[in-house]
Structure 1
Amino acid sequence: MNDVLQRLVERSGGLVTWEDALRVAPRWALQDACRSGRLLRLLPGVYVDARLVDGVGNGSPLRRVEPPLARRAALAYAGGWGALSHLTALDVWGLRRQPAGEPVHLEVPAECGIRSREHVVVHHRLGFAAEPPQVVVRGGEAVTRLERALVDAWPLLPRADRPAPLIRAVNGRLTTPERVAVALRQAPRLVDRAALRRLLDRLAAGCRSPLEIWGHDHVFTGPGMPAFRRQARVRVGARTFYLDLFAEAERVDIELDGATTHGDPREREIDLRRDALLATRGILVVRFTHRRLTHTPDEVRRETLAILAARRGAAAP
């Protein structure tokens, strides 16, 4: 390979565009590098050092490079017109890793002539511009804003996997249900839109896990149930605790223990100490396991109502 071209490829992390290559080397040098197999074409106008392509497998070389390099190639293909979006954006935001074989997603303006290619899905959107505020740069990669990415990716995920990225984003304080709801209003024809709306309502109510959402929908709302404060913040001395479901008048904290909770005795000990500290503030902690909540919801509901009634009776003069 031409020495100048080789240095350009190395400086650019193994990826080079035809346009950039012609700025430093003659056309024949690039053609010779491709004919000799030193450079491989990933996308129109985008080439990669062949040593970075996994020789195992079939299909486009783009499928056989590491995901970060595939994303860089897609952005180079877009030539400044696009940003990583949909499922690829969730990966960049750290909410869901794209599995091998899943294509790179790009969003570009509706009028842009860039087309989908093997292993690259191009989404054209009216009013889109690959610049702030619609696009941010994260880890050196142009990516659609998180709220839009969550909405766009929703129908592309298997139904059972759809809530997880949104729950992680809210729990990680990367966004809020209200901000995602604004993005959802801009997608009136979204597939399964009603389910996303319901999930946002549950998160806005304070639910922070699938189990809490289950409890909200099947157990802890309705006749006789108080208006629980979800994720209520309580300080005990120097410690701060967040309570799953807090009946403030009765001073009862309902904790929903997930399916993997207490697999480690140390975790159980931590919970016992926490419950004891809350008791010093007059708060009774009641724990329900994942199995009890999902297998006997009516029994859990009756038990909760009885505990609340007993607490109210004990507090009466």
Structure 2
Amino acid sequence: MTTDLHVLLGPTGVRPTAQVLCAADPGSISRWVGAGRLVRPLPGVLALPGAADTWRGRAAAAVLWSGGQLTGRTALTLWDLLGHPGARTHVAVGRRRHVPPVPPWLRVHRTTVPEWSVVDGLPLVTARRALVDAWGEAHGRSGSPEAVRVAREAVIGGVRRREVSVAGVRRELARHPVLPGRRALADLLELVGSGSHSEFEIWGLTHLFDLPGLPTVSRQHPVATSIGTIHLDGALEEVKLGFELDGAAYHRAPDQRERDLRRDAAALAEGWAVLRISHRRAHAQPDTCRAEMASAFHARRR
């Protein structure tokens, strides 16, 4: 009788060897492995070849082998804060756990995990802990500029979508006094906490909103309107002049463009003029954009 290995290995295609041995003898398992019908991604774990080549299959193998929790970019993907976990699977195990050599696709973090959850059947650290771990990895010796960009995107996006709070990430950061890049994460949380919801807005603070000879531009300035309170990316309240930074993709969507026009009309009804600055122009002509902002300020003072 032919054994259906897809049934034997279950829906994930990954199971502990001990469980498979409850339904099959060691000789059969050895033959299946020898024939390439099963693989051993980690000691004590069996998997279908197709499952072992996916990040979810590797994540399942990692937690079955280690008894730990997924963390870093792997956990962030399960928390829906990243679109893809990257090349490595990240798993946290106890500090006292002996860790033998592992395959290149696996990164083992020997650390304490006081809180964890289960998502899609996989144990993982909290979203705020995953953000901090991914940040430290990106800024460590094995990090890269791309990893730093991804970590920043996850922090900004997580706070913007309210998947995590700035206060929660700060509390988690306080538990890691020697985290690589710790100061940079604290600075980013300060910016995000004060209302910067994208890298473009953060970039604009330094490159656009610093206007010599003009009053300080207030950020995320609230304006009460007929459609509710709106928050301008920047504002010179003295002359009721607002600045909005339109991102490269977000504001190109037709429904977002309609929303922007409605917001601007509501602000105008309250006496506010709004100057919009596109991502393309801001980066290609920052001096021109600053000059336009200054000219608008002086025109409003007349």
Provide the TM-score with structure 1 as the length reference: 0.78
| Superposed displacement of residue 123, structure 1 | 0.9
> 68-77 or 217-226: which moved more?
217-226
In the TM superposition, what are the counterparts of 1:252-267 in structure 2 within 5 Å?
252-260=241-249, 263=252
1:233 to 1:19, Cα distance in 2 relative to 1, 3 A: farther
Stretches (4+) displaced over 6 A: none
Q: 1:288 aligns with which of 270, 277, 283?
A: 277
- Report percent identity of matched pairs: 31
- Inter-partner Cα distance in structure 2 for 1:7 and 1:15: 10
1:139 to 1:218, Cα distance in 2 relative to 1, 3 A: same
Cα root mean square deviation, aligned: 3.1
In the TM superposition, what are the counterparts of 1:53-68 in structure 2 within 5 Å?
62=52, 65-68=53-56
Other-structure match for 1:57: none
1:142 to 1:48, Cα distance in 2 relative to 1, 3 A: same
Q: 1:201 aligns with which of 154, 170, 190?
A: 190
Other-structure match for 2:172: 183
Work out whether residues 264 and 274 of structure 2, in 8 Å CA contact, stay in contact via their aligned partners in 1: yes
1:168-202 deviations in Å (ceiling 9; x for gaps) = 11111111222222222222222232222221111
Residue correspondences, number: 292
1:173 to 1:116, Cα distance in 2 relative to 1, 3 A: farther
Other-structure match for 2:200: 211
1:195-244 deviations in Å (ceiling 9; x for gaps) = 2222111111211111111121233257643462416364424x664432
Kindly indicate whether residue 89 of structure 2 is the aligned counterpart of residue 104 of structure 1. Answer: yes
Work out whether residues 43 and 77 of structure 1, in 8 Å CA contact, stay in contact via their aligned partners in 2: yes
Other-structure match for 2:10: 11
Report SS of the residue matched to 2:177. coil
- Inter-partner Cα distance in structure 1 for 2:271 and 2:37: 72
Kindly indicate whether residue 222 of structure 2 is the aligned counterpart of residue 245 of structure 1. Answer: no
Work out whether residues 170 and 189 of structure 2, in 8 Å CA contact, stay in contact via their aligned partners in 1: yes
Provide the TM-score with structure 2 as the length reference: 0.82
1:259 to 1:22, Cα distance in 2 relative to 1, 3 A: closer
Other-structure match for 1:145: 126
1:20-74 deviations in Å (ceiling 9; x for gaps) = 1233444344334334443221110101134x26xxxxxxxx4xx2221111111
Other-structure match for 1:56: none
1:144 to 1:32, Cα distance in 2 relative to 1, 3 A: same
Work out whether residues 70 and 104 of structure 1, in 8 Å CA contact, stay in contact via their aligned partners in 2: yes
1:42 to 1:219, Cα distance in 2 relative to 1, 3 A: same
Flag structure 1 segments of 5+ consecutive residues without an equivalent.
54-61
